[in-house]
Amino acid sequence: MRRVLNGLHWSGFLSAIQFLTIIPYGRRQNFDARSALPFFPLCGLLIGAILIGIHNMAGLWWPRSVVAVLDVMALATLTGALHLDGLADTADGLYGHRTPEQALTIMKDSRIGAMGMVSVACCLAAKWAGMSHLVTSEQIWLLLVPAYARSSVLWGIRALPYGRPGGGTGHAFFQAPIRLSDFWGMGLLIGISMFAGWGFLSLNLAFALLVLMVLRWYQKKIQCITGDMLGAMIEITEAGLFLIAAARWVA
């Protein structure tokens, strides 16, 4: 692990923060998409740590249901709603019986359709439902879920070819093949997840199943992936894991 980390440019962490959040840190002209990828899980941990701080501060004044709403709003704000936009575009493009070319054209349209609106509403509702049932002793989920969700991007890039060779939001991330060594952040997350007790098994199994199902769906629909679809993966994984965290059998 140390050898892998020593071979990385830590400027990649800055690039990951620039891309995944609205945190005003660093200059945009120094953005390096390829070096940012291995740091997506670490950036997710940063988002999770901020979320815990907001969660605990809000808990001093409001009941759990209200705090959960503020948590959902905080996640959307921290990411500039970038991934929610991707979820909406993906739902509009992939819903129904369309050719891959038609789906890609629809996803490129900045306007949001009915399926996009419904998908975003369902995603936010699922996150609220999961977070509203988390107790103080389960706050490790607030730390880990955003990190696991952003780790899904690495699997998406490795598993499927990019669907817009001419350019697009995610084009820069596909310029060089992703290596197994780029997944070192996943090892870190798995190690931290061991502190979640029995939730360790639920978290990692649910993550694997969610990513596998989403990628299988993408492959069946258009045999490729785009930046919007990567954003949708983040949102679907995040919502699904928060629902798993609230399940009675996890505790």
Question: pLDDT at position 250, please?
Answer: 57
Indicate whether 8 belongs to any domain. no
Written as one string, the DSSP assignment of 126-164 is: HHHHHHTT--GGGTHHHHHHHHHHHHHHHHHHHHS-BS-
Written as one string, the DSSP assignment of 53-75 is: HHHHHHTTTS-HHHHHHHHHHHH
Question: pLDDT at position 219, please?
Answer: 94
Task: Tell me what the mean pLDDT of segment 123-138 comes to.
Answer: 86
Task: Tell me what the mean pLDDT of segment 220-248 comes to.
Answer: 92
Question: pLDDT at position 26, please?
Answer: 53
Q: What is the pLDDT of residues 73-118, one digit of tens each?
A: 999 999 998 899 999 999 999 987 788 888 888 888 888 888 999 9
pTM (2 decimals)? Answer: 0.91
Question: pLDDT at position 98, please?
Answer: 81
Checking if the pLDDT of 136 tops 60, the result is yes
User: What tokens appear for 13 in the block?
Assistant: 């962490």
Question: 128: helix, coil or strand?
Answer: helix
Checking if the pLDDT of 147 tops 90, the result is yes
Checking if the pLDDT of 246 tops 80, the result is yes
Indicate whether 58 belongs to any domain. yes
Indicate whether 211 belongs to any domain. yes
Indicate whether 32 belongs to any domain. no
E-only strand ranges, 74-217: none
C-alpha closest to that of 89 among 241, 243, 222, 244: 222
Separation between Cα atoms, residue 152 and residue 132, nearest integer Å: 24
| φ/ψ bin of 194: left (φ > 0), alpha (ψ from -120 to 50), beta (otherwise) | alpha
Give the range with max mean pLDDT: 130-134, 142-146, 175-179. Answer: 142-146
Checking if the pLDDT of 126 tops 80, the result is yes
Indicate whether 21 belongs to any domain. no
CA dist list (Å): 168 to 79, 123, 142, 164, 172: 19, 24, 31, 6, 8
Cβ–Cβ < 8 Å for 47, 146? yes
Task: Tell me what the mean pLDDT of segment 24-43 comes to.
Answer: 77
More confident residue, 250 or 220: 220
Indicate whether 146 belongs to any domain. yes
Would you give the DSSP letter of residue 163?
S
Question: pLDDT at position 237, please?
Answer: 97
Separation between Cα atoms, residue 14 and residue 16, nearest integer Å: 5
Indicate whether 48 belongs to any domain. yes
Question: pLDDT at position 180, please?
Answer: 86
Question: 154: helix, coil or strand?
Answer: helix
Q: How many domains does the chain have?
A: 1
Q: Which residue has the tokens 């061991």?
A: 194
Amino acid identity of residue 26, one-letter, is G
Q: What is the pLDDT of residues 35-78, one digit of tens each?
A: 889 999 999 999 999 999 999 999 899 999 999 999 999 999 99
C-alpha closest to that of 204 among 217, 189, 219: 189
Indicate whether 7 belongs to any domain. no
Question: What band does 120 get if pLDDT is binned at 50, 70 and 90?
Answer: very high
Question: What band does 3 get if pLDDT is binned at 50, 70 and 90?
Answer: very low
Question: pLDDT at position 133, please?
Answer: 86
Task: Tell me what the mean pLDDT of segment 169-187 comes to.
Answer: 83
Q: What is the pLDDT of residues 189-220, one digit of tens each?
A: 999 888 877 778 888 999 999 999 999 999 99
Residue 201: give the domain boundaries.
41-245
